Structure 1
Amino acid sequence: MSRGLRFAFFGSSLVSTWWNGAATYYRGLLRALHARGHQVTFYEPDASGRQEHRDLQGPDQARVVVYSNNLGSVDECLDDAFGVDVVVKASGVGALDAYLDSRVLELRRSGTQVVFWDMSAPATLEHVAKDAHHLFRQLIPRFDHILTSGGGAPVVNAYRELGAKHCVAIHPAVDPDTHHPVAPESRFACDLAFLGNRLPDREARVEACFFKVAESLPRSRMLLGGNGWEERVVPSNVGRLGHVYTQDHNAVNSSARAVLNLHRDSMARFGFSPSPRVFEAAGAGACLITDAFEGVEQFLEPGREVLVARSGEEVAEHVKRLTPEDARRMGQAALRRVLAEHTYAHRAVEVEAALG
């Protein structure tokens, strides 16, 4: 791409990870785009308590505009975005999503592409499939591009069947400047750590692959991080971390003998949809245990760079058999793989190619 583009990006939040698993994806990708000469304005709502729980002040990868949760404030942002090269509306903004889905299309004109960036494509597609008259279903053919943060052929083909002109998966990755190995910290030392907000479509997996594993291994120490677990009674060997801010991710990932990744149900069904935490953990040299999903080998080699479990029993077996030496060896192999193939610098090139 011969010149830098001006992006107007409407997303959940760049400055806060509070109830916002997309934040590190946005941060790494936009930093890489900025490094390649592109300019980004990121529009985010004052919603879900995120502005009160910022963990990124004065980001250098984008100009951030925070708007109020009302139509007038959104319209001001849309006016501000007029005339840029690329307008992006992400899924899951968290305020006036349906309104924005329609209104951003009014910014489309010669010299301006409008993109829908689906941060949870499997969930979106399952939701739209249930309702032939869903408003977003009618809008899909009008976007210049559909980009997704996960999904392989099943997602791409499903979007094309719904009339998408162009659909490309831009997978999560690692930003080596923010997620990297650090010295272990005793407060995060454990046999297995799981970081994830409490979500209805993942809870059964957490029950089977984390809480029951903890009960079956009472002499092992487990750590639980994320929002929403405050009311859940946990086994006595599970320590609560609450929300883990970005500045502590590396310490958790570098201190645990193994880190657990569990998918939302729809992500697992569609496959090819690793979460950003997979790459964050691998970027810190952590030994990762993930629930099974189709396409895992596209990102990490099972048995050498990642441990795959098809049940809670298999998670428990991995934890029991894993020696510190094996964990360290696997973590280092995963780190080499993501640095070679799965950084946001790689993804920024993919974005440029997708936009033409």
Structure 2
Amino acid sequence: MTAGLRIVVLGLSLSSSWGNGHATTFRALLKALAARGHDILFLERDVPWYAAHRDLAEPDYCRFDLYGDLQTLERHGRAVAEADAVIVGSYVPDGIAVGDWVQATARGVTAFYDIDTPVTLAALEAGTCAYLTPRQIPGFDVYFSFTGGPTLDRLERRWGAPAARALYCSVDPALYRPAAGPKRWDLGYLGTYSPDRQPVLDRLLIEPARRLPDRRFVVAGPQYPADIDWPANVERIDHVGPADHPAFYDACRFTLNVTRADMVRAGWSPSVRLFEAAACGTPIISDTWAGIETLLRPEREILLADTAERVVEILTGVDATAAERIGAAGRVRVLGAHTAAHRAETVEAALRAAMGERRPAAALA
């Protein structure tokens, strides 16, 4: 049996899912890595906006610690130095300084896990990225990318990543599964406000709500501006914690998936909500982007829409039997290819491959 790895992860958040999709992604992945026998330490910057909304105090699948600043982070220098692999995530506060410290301190493999790849690359091109610099990318042995497809080649050719590997978000099927509750809403959306998503949300949910005043809609998530003109049949929920996500999806006849503009342009960028909703057996209506058909088959496992007319057509024309069939097919597909266990295999294989690349070089030194 292969020995487990000692892995240190420095990520945006594990303790709070408020206003971010990183926490649930890390939770599922680290739990699956721990199940494969790996020892994991997660380090998180202690910031007030997450401190006020913590929904995971003590994970049972990894060691966890908060640090107040870069100086206090250095008390973990020995753990970082002795780890087989150290993974730095996107959007980590003072991420550039953290990345420099990791690359200077770690003696094992280092990796960058970008849960925001198209946003990151756009910021790198503009010289505005606050958590990663171009000079650091060749210094990470592996670049795990939220985005697959042509972006992986771009990361290696344009930015010098030694090994770019797709690491899509995933789902923990033990937590996300179908329930049998009543349907409260015809269409629901779960996601934090984002200016570049809002026009799509306007088109695919708010406008259909106006056209179907007898139907019920819901938008759940924080940070939406007070001046949005919500129709009377659109319910607003400020935050739904991860423990309540399955019940939220189950209460929707359909759920809407809306993708950020940078992700649409890059393609191959599925959000964690896509897999979570599918695992719950809820039929998904999604905006369209390149690569989505490689994850879920349109019209059989997911429904695609780019106009309000198409959403109205689905809500009024797809009956309960057909919707249930699409939701069930999406669940089968996700459980077969997109669980956290699948992603943990990808991470382990990439880290071990990078360790193998390093050993011959070390032997020659």
- TM-score, scaled relative to structure 2: 0.91
Deviation at 1:22, TM superposition (A): 1.3
Partner AA of 1:137 in structure 2: P
Q: 2:297 aligns with which of 297, 301, 314?
A: 301
Correspondence for 2:160: 163
Partner AA of 2:142 in structure 1: H
Deviation per CA, 1:107-135: give whole Å up to 9, x if none.
Answer: 233xx011111011011111112239996
RMSD: 1.8
Partner AA of 1:73 in structure 2: T
Deviation per CA, 1:289-334: give whole Å up to 9, x if none.
Answer: 1100111121111001100112333222222222222111111111
Correspondence for 2:139: 142
Secondary structure of 1:257's aligned partner: strand
Deviation at 1:48, TM superposition (A): 4.8
Q: 1:239 aligns with which of 229, 235, 250?
A: 235
Deviation at 1:354, TM superposition (A): 1.4
Q: Structure 1 residues 133, 44: closer, same or farther in 2, change over 3 A?
A: closer
- 313-322 vs 292-301, which moves further: 313-322
Unaligned 5+ runs, structure 1: none
Task: State whether structure 2 residue 351 is matched by structure 1 residue 351.
Answer: no
How far, CA to CA, are the matches of 2:102 and 2:308 in structure 1? 44
Correspondence for 2:175: 178
Task: State whether structure 2 residue 211 is matched by structure 1 residue 213.
Answer: no
Deviation per CA, 1:170-210: give whole Å up to 9, x if none.
Answer: 11122111111122256xx1000001101122222122222
Correspondence for 1:123: 119
Q: Alignment identity in percent?
A: 37
Q: Are 1:67 and 1:77, in contact at CA under 8 Å, matched by a contact in 2? A: no
Secondary structure of 1:88's aligned partner: strand
Correspondence for 2:27: 27
Secondary structure of 1:253's aligned partner: helix
How far, CA to CA, are the matches of 1:153 and 1:239 in structure 2? 37
How far, CA to CA, are the matches of 1:27 and 1:256 in structure 2? 25
Correspondence for 2:90: 91
Q: Are 2:257 and 2:287, in contact at CA under 8 Å, matched by a contact in 1? A: yes
Partner AA of 2:207 in structure 1: K
Q: Structure 1 residues 7, 133: closer, same or farther in 2, change over 3 A?
A: closer
Q: Structure 1 residues 73, 316: closer, same or farther in 2, change over 3 A?
A: farther
Task: State whether structure 2 residue 260 is matched by structure 1 residue 264.
Answer: yes
Deviation at 1:77, TM superposition (A): 3.4
Task: State whether structure 2 residue 324 is matched by structure 1 residue 331.
Answer: no
Secondary structure of 2:15's aligned partner: coil
Deviation per CA, 1:317-355: give whole Å up to 9, x if none.
Answer: 222222222111111111111111211111111111212
Q: 1:229 aligns with which of 224, 228, 244?
A: 224
How far, CA to CA, are the matches of 1:283 and 1:253 in structure 2? 10
Deviation per CA, 1:218-237: give whole Å up to 9, x if none.
Answer: 11100110001251331100
Correspondence for 1:101: 99
Partner AA of 2:57 in structure 1: Q
Number of matched pairs: 349
Q: Are 2:16 and 2:50, in contact at CA under 8 Å, matched by a contact in 1? A: yes
Q: Structure 1 residues 322, 98: closer, same or farther in 2, change over 3 A?
A: same
Partner AA of 2:166 in structure 1: A
Q: Are 1:125 and 1:158, in contact at CA under 8 Å, matched by a contact in 2? A: no
